[in-house]
Amino acid sequence: MALATLVGSEAAEALLRACPVEPAVYRRDGSELDERITLPFMGAYIDHGLTDPAFTAAVKDGKAVHPGRFSRDGRMRPGKLRELFESGHTVNLRYLQTRVPYVAELCREIEAETGYTLFVSGFVTPPGAQGLRHHWDQFLAVVTQLHGRKRWPIWRPEVEFPVDEYLSSPTTWTAEMQERWNSTEPYAVFDLNPGDTLVIPRGWVHSPHCLPDDPDPSLHLTFALRERVPLDLAEALVHTALERPEFRAGIAPSRLTPETLPATLTDVLAQTVRHLATTDPADVADAIRAALFSEPAGQGHRPGHGR
Protein backbone atom coordinates (compact mmCIF):
# COMPACT_ATOMS: atom_id res chain seq x y z
CA MET A 1 0.00 0.00 0.00
CA ALA A 2 1.46 3.34 -1.10
CA LEU A 3 -0.02 5.31 1.80
CA ALA A 4 1.77 2.96 4.16
CA THR A 5 5.06 4.26 2.77
CA LEU A 6 4.16 7.61 4.32
CA VAL A 7 2.39 6.73 7.57
CA GLY A 8 2.69 3.00 8.19
CA SER A 9 0.13 0.27 7.50
CA GLU A 10 -2.23 0.80 10.44
CA ALA A 11 -2.52 4.56 9.94
CA ALA A 12 -2.92 4.11 6.18
CA GLU A 13 -5.90 1.83 6.71
CA ALA A 14 -7.43 4.41 9.07
CA LEU A 15 -6.94 7.22 6.53
CA LEU A 16 -8.70 5.18 3.87
CA ARG A 17 -11.69 4.65 6.18
CA ALA A 18 -12.16 8.25 7.34
CA CYS A 19 -10.81 11.74 6.78
CA PRO A 20 -8.70 12.87 9.77
CA VAL A 21 -10.12 15.59 12.00
CA GLU A 22 -7.09 16.30 14.21
CA PRO A 23 -3.33 16.41 13.56
CA ALA A 24 -1.36 13.30 14.48
CA VAL A 25 2.17 11.92 14.12
CA TYR A 26 3.00 8.44 12.82
CA ARG A 27 6.19 6.41 12.30
CA ARG A 28 7.19 4.93 8.97
CA ASP A 29 10.15 2.75 9.97
CA GLY A 30 12.02 1.20 7.05
CA SER A 31 10.28 3.34 4.41
CA GLU A 32 11.72 3.38 0.91
CA LEU A 33 10.98 7.11 0.85
CA ASP A 34 13.73 7.74 3.40
CA GLU A 35 16.22 5.77 1.30
CA ARG A 36 15.36 7.50 -1.97
CA ILE A 37 14.91 11.14 -0.95
CA THR A 38 17.92 12.26 1.06
CA LEU A 39 19.53 15.59 1.87
CA PRO A 40 22.36 15.06 -0.70
CA PHE A 41 19.73 14.11 -3.30
CA MET A 42 17.77 17.32 -2.73
CA GLY A 43 21.00 19.28 -2.50
CA ALA A 44 21.83 18.21 -6.04
CA TYR A 45 18.56 19.73 -7.25
CA ILE A 46 19.44 22.97 -5.49
CA ASP A 47 23.07 23.14 -6.60
CA HIS A 48 22.59 22.09 -10.23
CA GLY A 49 19.43 24.04 -10.95
CA LEU A 50 17.34 20.92 -11.59
CA THR A 51 14.14 22.82 -10.87
CA ASP A 52 11.60 24.98 -12.65
CA PRO A 53 11.77 28.63 -11.48
CA ALA A 54 7.96 28.78 -11.63
CA PHE A 55 7.77 26.06 -8.98
CA THR A 56 10.69 27.18 -6.82
CA ALA A 57 10.67 29.57 -3.88
CA ALA A 58 13.10 30.89 -1.28
CA VAL A 59 11.42 32.11 1.92
CA LYS A 60 12.78 33.57 5.14
CA ASP A 61 10.74 34.64 8.16
CA GLY A 62 7.54 34.75 6.17
CA LYS A 63 8.87 36.64 3.15
CA ALA A 64 9.59 35.11 -0.27
CA VAL A 65 12.33 36.60 -2.45
CA HIS A 66 11.62 37.65 -6.03
CA PRO A 67 12.32 34.78 -8.47
CA GLY A 68 14.80 37.05 -10.21
CA ARG A 69 17.15 36.47 -7.28
CA PHE A 70 17.69 32.87 -8.46
CA SER A 71 16.48 32.74 -12.08
CA ARG A 72 16.63 34.62 -15.36
CA ASP A 73 14.56 34.15 -18.52
CA GLY A 74 12.87 31.06 -17.12
CA ARG A 75 16.14 29.32 -16.19
CA MET A 76 17.79 28.80 -12.83
CA ARG A 77 20.94 30.86 -12.17
CA PRO A 78 23.76 28.53 -11.02
CA GLY A 79 24.59 28.81 -7.34
CA LYS A 80 22.00 31.46 -6.49
CA LEU A 81 19.57 29.13 -4.73
CA ARG A 82 22.43 27.73 -2.63
CA GLU A 83 23.45 31.28 -1.70
CA LEU A 84 19.94 32.02 -0.50
CA PHE A 85 19.89 28.82 1.52
CA GLU A 86 23.23 29.70 3.13
CA SER A 87 21.77 33.10 4.09
CA GLY A 88 18.91 31.46 6.00
CA HIS A 89 16.20 30.96 3.38
CA THR A 90 14.04 27.86 3.22
CA VAL A 91 14.18 26.40 -0.29
CA ASN A 92 10.82 25.11 -1.53
CA LEU A 93 10.86 22.80 -4.55
CA ARG A 94 7.26 22.30 -5.64
CA TYR A 95 5.65 19.71 -7.91
CA LEU A 96 8.40 17.17 -7.29
CA GLN A 97 6.12 14.47 -8.71
CA THR A 98 6.79 15.99 -12.14
CA ARG A 99 10.58 15.82 -11.79
CA VAL A 100 11.49 12.83 -9.60
CA PRO A 101 10.44 9.44 -11.08
CA TYR A 102 10.17 7.67 -7.73
CA VAL A 103 7.92 10.41 -6.34
CA ALA A 104 5.82 10.32 -9.51
CA GLU A 105 5.28 6.56 -9.15
CA LEU A 106 4.42 6.90 -5.47
CA CYS A 107 1.88 9.64 -6.22
CA ARG A 108 0.20 7.58 -8.93
CA GLU A 109 -0.19 4.70 -6.48
CA ILE A 110 -1.62 6.98 -3.79
CA GLU A 111 -4.07 8.45 -6.30
CA ALA A 112 -5.19 4.96 -7.28
CA GLU A 113 -5.74 4.02 -3.62
CA THR A 114 -7.55 7.17 -2.57
CA GLY A 115 -9.18 8.76 -5.60
CA TYR A 116 -7.49 12.00 -4.47
CA THR A 117 -5.21 14.12 -6.62
CA LEU A 118 -2.03 15.40 -5.03
CA PHE A 119 1.23 17.23 -5.49
CA VAL A 120 4.49 17.06 -3.55
CA SER A 121 6.66 19.89 -2.27
CA GLY A 122 10.15 19.55 -0.84
CA PHE A 123 11.38 21.92 1.88
CA VAL A 124 15.01 22.34 2.89
CA THR A 125 15.43 24.70 5.85
CA PRO A 126 18.79 25.88 7.29
CA PRO A 127 19.54 25.20 10.97
CA GLY A 128 17.62 27.55 13.25
CA ALA A 129 15.65 29.11 10.38
CA GLN A 130 11.99 29.49 9.40
CA GLY A 131 10.24 29.84 6.04
CA LEU A 132 6.58 30.86 6.13
CA ARG A 133 4.98 31.83 9.39
CA HIS A 134 1.39 31.12 10.48
CA HIS A 135 -0.94 29.88 7.77
CA TRP A 136 -3.28 27.02 6.93
CA ASP A 137 -3.52 24.76 3.90
CA GLN A 138 -6.43 24.02 1.62
CA PHE A 139 -5.44 20.36 1.40
CA LEU A 140 -4.74 17.40 3.67
CA ALA A 141 -1.02 17.77 4.40
CA VAL A 142 1.04 14.64 4.96
CA VAL A 143 4.42 15.91 6.17
CA THR A 144 7.27 13.40 5.99
CA GLN A 145 10.41 14.38 7.91
CA LEU A 146 13.49 12.99 6.14
CA HIS A 147 16.50 14.77 7.67
CA GLY A 148 17.12 16.93 10.72
CA ARG A 149 14.41 18.09 13.08
CA LYS A 150 11.56 20.57 12.76
CA ARG A 151 9.08 21.91 15.30
CA TRP A 152 5.42 22.25 14.30
CA PRO A 153 3.24 24.42 16.58
CA ILE A 154 -0.38 23.94 15.49
CA TRP A 155 -3.51 25.96 16.27
CA ARG A 156 -7.17 25.03 15.79
CA PRO A 157 -8.76 26.01 12.48
CA GLU A 158 -9.86 29.58 11.84
CA VAL A 159 -12.25 28.44 9.08
CA GLU A 160 -14.12 25.22 8.40
CA PHE A 161 -13.01 22.98 5.51
CA PRO A 162 -11.17 25.51 3.31
CA VAL A 163 -10.67 24.78 -0.40
CA ASP A 164 -8.67 26.61 -3.04
CA GLU A 165 -11.67 28.59 -4.24
CA TYR A 166 -13.15 29.36 -0.81
CA LEU A 167 -11.64 30.38 2.55
CA SER A 168 -8.05 29.90 1.39
CA SER A 169 -5.31 31.09 3.73
CA PRO A 170 -3.84 33.77 1.38
CA THR A 171 -7.25 35.43 0.82
CA THR A 172 -8.65 35.08 4.35
CA TRP A 173 -5.63 35.95 6.53
CA THR A 174 -5.94 39.10 8.66
CA ALA A 175 -3.58 41.04 10.91
CA GLU A 176 -5.95 40.33 13.81
CA MET A 177 -5.51 36.58 13.25
CA GLN A 178 -1.74 36.97 13.19
CA GLU A 179 -1.74 38.91 16.45
CA ARG A 180 -3.91 36.27 18.09
CA TRP A 181 -1.63 33.44 16.96
CA ASN A 182 1.41 35.35 18.18
CA SER A 183 -0.11 35.71 21.64
CA THR A 184 -1.90 32.37 22.03
CA GLU A 185 -0.42 29.03 23.02
CA PRO A 186 -0.77 26.43 20.25
CA TYR A 187 -3.19 23.54 20.51
CA ALA A 188 -0.27 21.13 20.09
CA VAL A 189 3.46 21.13 19.32
CA PHE A 190 5.11 18.32 17.38
CA ASP A 191 8.86 17.87 17.04
CA LEU A 192 9.45 15.82 13.90
CA ASN A 193 12.52 13.62 13.53
CA PRO A 194 13.55 11.51 10.53
CA GLY A 195 10.99 8.74 10.09
CA ASP A 196 8.11 10.81 11.52
CA THR A 197 5.07 11.78 9.49
CA LEU A 198 2.69 14.52 10.60
CA VAL A 199 -0.83 14.50 9.16
CA ILE A 200 -2.48 17.95 9.26
CA PRO A 201 -6.16 18.19 8.30
CA ARG A 202 -7.29 21.09 6.13
CA GLY A 203 -7.53 24.41 7.93
CA TRP A 204 -5.32 23.72 10.97
CA VAL A 205 -2.95 26.68 11.44
CA HIS A 206 0.77 25.96 11.67
CA SER A 207 4.07 27.84 11.86
CA PRO A 208 6.92 25.31 11.52
CA HIS A 209 10.55 26.17 12.17
CA CYS A 210 13.92 24.65 12.97
CA LEU A 211 15.17 24.94 16.54
CA PRO A 212 18.03 27.35 17.29
CA ASP A 213 20.26 24.68 18.84
CA ASP A 214 19.88 22.10 16.04
CA PRO A 215 23.10 21.82 13.99
CA ASP A 216 21.51 20.13 10.96
CA PRO A 217 19.26 21.49 8.24
CA SER A 218 15.75 20.10 7.99
CA LEU A 219 14.39 18.26 4.95
CA HIS A 220 10.77 17.24 4.62
CA LEU A 221 8.32 16.51 1.84
CA THR A 222 4.71 17.58 2.05
CA PHE A 223 2.30 15.34 0.17
CA ALA A 224 -0.65 17.65 -0.48
CA LEU A 225 -3.75 15.50 -0.91
CA ARG A 226 -6.90 17.10 -2.26
CA GLU A 227 -9.68 15.40 -0.37
CA ARG A 228 -12.83 14.68 -2.36
CA VAL A 229 -15.77 16.73 -1.11
CA PRO A 230 -19.50 16.35 -1.85
CA LEU A 231 -19.32 19.20 -4.36
CA ASP A 232 -16.89 17.14 -6.46
CA LEU A 233 -19.41 14.34 -6.79
CA ALA A 234 -22.31 16.76 -7.26
CA GLU A 235 -20.49 18.39 -10.19
CA ALA A 236 -19.74 14.97 -11.65
CA LEU A 237 -23.40 13.96 -11.34
CA VAL A 238 -24.56 17.13 -13.07
CA HIS A 239 -21.97 16.58 -15.80
CA THR A 240 -23.69 13.31 -16.75
CA ALA A 241 -26.41 15.53 -18.25
CA LEU A 242 -24.02 16.22 -21.12
CA GLU A 243 -25.47 13.20 -22.90
CA ARG A 244 -28.88 14.89 -23.08
CA PRO A 245 -29.36 17.29 -26.03
CA GLU A 246 -31.46 19.72 -24.00
CA PHE A 247 -28.44 20.45 -21.81
CA ARG A 248 -26.28 21.18 -24.86
CA ALA A 249 -28.74 23.55 -26.53
CA GLY A 250 -27.79 27.21 -26.74
CA ILE A 251 -29.27 29.89 -24.48
CA ALA A 252 -30.09 33.18 -26.21
CA PRO A 253 -28.31 36.31 -24.95
CA SER A 254 -31.69 37.86 -24.20
CA ARG A 255 -32.17 35.25 -21.46
CA LEU A 256 -28.88 36.17 -19.77
CA THR A 257 -29.54 39.82 -18.97
CA PRO A 258 -29.79 41.01 -15.35
CA GLU A 259 -33.57 41.13 -15.75
CA THR A 260 -34.09 37.71 -17.37
CA LEU A 261 -31.35 35.64 -15.75
CA PRO A 262 -33.31 34.75 -12.57
CA ALA A 263 -36.11 33.20 -14.67
CA THR A 264 -33.58 31.40 -16.84
CA LEU A 265 -31.86 29.97 -13.77
CA THR A 266 -35.22 28.82 -12.45
CA ASP A 267 -35.85 26.91 -15.69
CA VAL A 268 -32.37 25.36 -15.70
CA LEU A 269 -32.65 24.42 -12.03
CA ALA A 270 -35.91 22.59 -12.68
CA GLN A 271 -34.37 20.89 -15.71
CA THR A 272 -31.37 19.78 -13.62
CA VAL A 273 -33.55 18.47 -10.80
CA ARG A 274 -35.55 16.41 -13.31
CA HIS A 275 -32.34 14.98 -14.73
CA LEU A 276 -30.93 14.05 -11.33
CA ALA A 277 -34.24 12.59 -10.18
CA THR A 278 -34.18 10.15 -13.10
CA THR A 279 -30.48 9.28 -12.78
CA ASP A 280 -29.67 5.94 -11.18
CA PRO A 281 -26.39 6.35 -9.23
CA ALA A 282 -25.49 2.74 -9.96
CA ASP A 283 -25.62 3.46 -13.69
CA VAL A 284 -23.20 6.38 -13.55
CA ALA A 285 -20.89 5.34 -10.69
CA ASP A 286 -18.33 3.63 -12.93
CA ALA A 287 -18.14 6.61 -15.30
CA ILE A 288 -17.81 9.10 -12.46
CA ARG A 289 -15.11 7.05 -10.75
CA ALA A 290 -13.20 6.75 -14.04
CA ALA A 291 -13.42 10.52 -14.54
CA LEU A 292 -12.20 11.26 -11.01
CA PHE A 293 -9.27 8.85 -11.27
CA SER A 294 -8.19 10.21 -14.65
CA GLU A 295 -7.48 13.71 -13.35
CA PRO A 296 -3.80 14.67 -13.54
CA ALA A 297 -1.81 14.93 -10.32
CA GLY A 298 -2.09 18.31 -8.63
CA GLN A 299 -5.28 19.37 -10.44
CA GLY A 300 -7.17 22.05 -8.62
CA HIS A 301 -4.18 23.21 -6.55
CA ARG A 302 -2.34 26.47 -6.36
CA PRO A 303 0.72 25.36 -4.37
CA GLY A 304 1.92 27.71 -1.66
CA HIS A 305 5.45 28.77 -0.82
CA GLY A 306 8.03 27.37 1.57
CA ARG A 307 7.34 26.55 5.16
Decide if 298 is inside a domain: no
pLDDT digits (tens, 9 = 90+) for 109-152: 999 999 999 999 999 999 999 999 999 999 999 999 999 999 99
Q: Does 245 lie in the same domain as 151?
A: no
pLDDT class for 292, splitting at 50, 70, 90? confident
264 and 134: one domain? no
Residues 58 and 133 in one domain: yes
| Closest to 42 in 3D by CA, of 98, 106, 108, 92 | 92
pLDDT at 30: 82
pLDDT in tens, 271-281: 999 999 999 99
Q: Taking residues 210-239, report their average pLDDT.
A: 95
What pLDDT, on the 0 to 100 scale, is given for residue 132?
92
28 in any annotated domain = yes
Q: Is the confidence at residue 300, as pLDDT, over 60?
A: no
Residue 283 falls within a domain, yes or no?
A: yes
As a whole number, mean pLDDT of residues 73-86 equals 96
pLDDT at 29: 82
Residue 57 has pLDDT above 60, yes or no: yes
- Mean pLDDT score, 27-35: 91
At residue 296, the pLDDT reads 54
Q: Give residue 8's domain range.
A: 2-230
Q: What is the mean pLDDT of residues 267-290?
A: 95
Residue 302 within any structural domain of the chain: no
pLDDT computed for residue 290 by the predictor: 85
Q: Residue 243, class by beta-carbon neighbours within 10 Å (0-12 exposed, 13-18 middle, 19+ buried)? A: exposed
Which domain-ending residue is among 211, 230, 249? 230
Domain membership flag for residue 71:
yes
pTM of the predicted structure, to 2 decimals = 0.92
* pLDDT surpasses 50 at 187: yes
**Residue 300 domain-assigned (yes or no):** no
In a domain, 305, yes or no: no
The residue among 30 and 234 whose pLDDT is bigger is 234
Average pLDDT, the chain: 93
The pLDDT of residue 291 is 81
Residue 305 has pLDDT above 50, yes or no: no
Over range 167-171, report the average pLDDT. 94
Residues 189 and 260 in one domain: no
User: How many domains does one find in the chain?
Assistant: 2
Least trusted range by pLDDT, from 166-175, 216-225, 288-297: 288-297
